[in-house]
Amino acid sequence: MSISVTSGKVSSLGYIILLTQDIDAWREFGSDVLGLMLNSEISNAEQLFFRMDNHPSRLIVKHHDSNKLAAIGWECSGKESYEAVITAIETTGAKVKRGNESAAAERGVTEYAGSKDPDGNPFEVFHTRTGLRDNFQSPLDIDKFVTGKLGMGHAVIPAPKVTVTEAFYKNVLGFGASDNLTLPSPTAGMPDMNIRFFHANNPRHHSLALFNWPNPLGLVHLLLEVSSVDEVGTCLDRIHAGNYPLMATLGRHCNDNMLSFYVIGPGGFAIEYGCDGLKIDSDNYQTTVSTRADVWGHDYMSPVPA
């Protein structure tokens, strides 16, 4: 596959769409455990739209016969950047399908288009969010999620063809490399774990990471960031009270400084819930190479890394 350099740059992680077999469990988990605000105007028995801020639909969960990532929505700074990114994707030979007006409206965006990366991970690009409202209110009184220019958090996705897929995100979507972490494999017969972290055009240390192992859900984890350690701790209390399984205990990451834990939500989707994420100068960032994931903690209950 030939890779083209583009003038377009993805600016942030805009939204995530998950497919789930258990929509009712997600309604409870999203609202009563994660503290997201259900957008009741457009949610129904088949699909949930959760808010984290003024955007109408940051986390979209749809009823389906399988549990799977449907799309990661990457924001472009405007129409010009959006069209440049689409042209760059098409130049690689990847198919791009432009979404219709009603599907764009439910995502809270003006226009979007879907495609797949070289590992087959589904993603969308969009520009210009719509339907913004300044009335975010967490049902658990969480004061805010850390979003805005930093985007809704970060996503880690499987990439067994990690070198080719890294080139795609860097050269076609305009991501910059933040860190390249290698850890010994905890599983016999599997390669060393290699996680490559990328920043979009904003100060969040990474909006995307690629993990070189396959993952049946298509999503290794999604990070949501809150503004204080107390919000992290009280969410951990809710996790314990609800008997949700942890994927990893409380800990602090080396590369992005995130103080977080990982919970396994309905359908097996892992959510990292944290605070203190590192902000960088994304235009002048020196990529790091690491062999250590954590300052402390993050005792993994299953062999899935940061």
Q: Rule CB under 5 A: which of 37-96 touch Fe ion? A: none
Q: What is the smallest separation between the CB atom of 182 and Fe ion, expressed in angstroms?
A: 16
Instruction: Decide if 128 contacts 110 (C-beta within 8 A).
Output: yes
Q: What is the smallest separation between the CB atom of 300 and Fe ion, expressed in angstroms?
A: 12
Q: What is the smallest separation between the CB atom of 206 and Fe ion, expressed in angstroms?
A: 8
- How many angstroms separate the CA atoms of 170 and 287, rounded? 13
Nearer to Fe ion, 111 or 225 (CB): 225
Nearer to Fe ion, 179 or 272 (CB): 272
Nearer to Fe ion, 75 or 272 (CB): 272
C-alpha dihedral sign at 19, 63, 236, 240:
negative
Nearer to Fe ion, 125 or 271 (CB): 271
- How many angstroms separate the CA atoms of 253 and 277, rounded? 9
> By CB under 5 A, how many residues form the interface with Fe ion?
2
Nearer to Fe ion, 152 or 223 (CB): 223
Instruction: Decide if 217 contacts 266 (C-beta within 8 A).
Output: no
Q: What is the smallest separation between the CB atom of 65 and Fe ion, expressed in angstroms?
A: 28
Q: What is the smallest separation between the CB atom of 272 and Fe ion, expressed in angstroms?
A: 4
In the stretch 240-279, what mask flags binding to Fe ion with x, by CB under 5 A?
--------------------------------x-------
- How many angstroms separate the CA atoms of 81 and 88, rounded? 10
Instruction: Decide if 158 contacts 211 (C-beta within 8 A).
Output: yes
Q: Rule CB under 5 A: which of 143-202 touch Fe ion? A: none
Q: Radius of gyration of the chain from Cα atoms?
A: 18
Nearer to Fe ion, 131 or 297 (CB): 297
Q: What is the smallest separation between the CB atom of 273 and Fe ion, expressed in angstroms?
A: 10
Nearer to Fe ion, 108 or 153 (CB): 153
Q: What is the smallest separation between the CB atom of 88 and Fe ion, expressed in angstroms?
A: 27
For residue 83, the SS3 value is helix
Provide the strand spans (E) within 186-267: 193-199, 208-211, 221-225, 246-253, 259-264
In the stretch 209-238, what mask flags binding to Fe ion with x, by CB under 5 A?
--------------x---------------
For the residues of 111-154, what is the DSSP string, one character each?
EEEEEE-TT--EEEEEEEE-S--S----TT----BS-GGG-S-E
Q: What is the residue type of 279?
A: K
Residues that bind Fe ion (CB under 5 A): 223, 272
